[in-house]
Amino acid sequence: MSKETLNLYFHSLFPIEDDIVHQITRKFKSFSLKKNELLLAENRINNKTYFLETGYVRSYTFDSNGNEITTNLFTAPCFVNDFLSFFKEQPTKENYETLTDCTFWLTDLETVQENFHSIPEFREFSRMLFVVNYYKLHDRVLEMAKDTAEERYLNLLKKQPAIFQNVPLKIIASFLGITDTSLSRIRKKITTL
Residue 169, pLDDT > 70, answer yes
What are the angstrom distances between the C-alpha of 175 and each of 13, 24, 77, 87, 101? 26, 33, 19, 26, 20
The predicted structure's pLDDT at residue 29: 97
pTM of the model: 0.92
Q: How far apart (Å, rounded) are the C-alpha atoms in residues 32 and 105?
A: 9
Q: Which residue ranges make up each domain of the chain?
A: 4-146, 148-193
Residue 91, pLDDT > 70, answer yes
Angle at 50 between CA 49 and CA 55, to 5 degrees: 165
pLDDT in tens, 39-70: 999 999 989 999 999 999 999 999 999 999 99
Q: For the chain, where are the E strands, in sequence order? A: 29-33, 38-40, 48-54, 56-62, 68-75, 78-80, 95-98, 102-108
The predicted structure's pLDDT at residue 145: 95
- Mean pLDDT over the full length of the chain: 93
The mean pLDDT value for 24-38 works out to 96
Q: If you write DSSP's letter for every residue of 110-155 in order, what string do you get?
A: HHHHHHHHH-HHHHHHHHHHHHHHHHHHHHHHHHHHHS-HHHHHHH
pLDDT in tens, 104-132: 999 999 999 999 999 999 999 999 998 99
What homologous superfamily is domain 4-146 in, according to CATH?
A: Jelly Rolls (2.60.120.10)
Residue 136, pLDDT > 70, answer yes
Q: What share of the chain is helix, strand, coil (3-state, %, to 5)?
A: 50, 25, 25
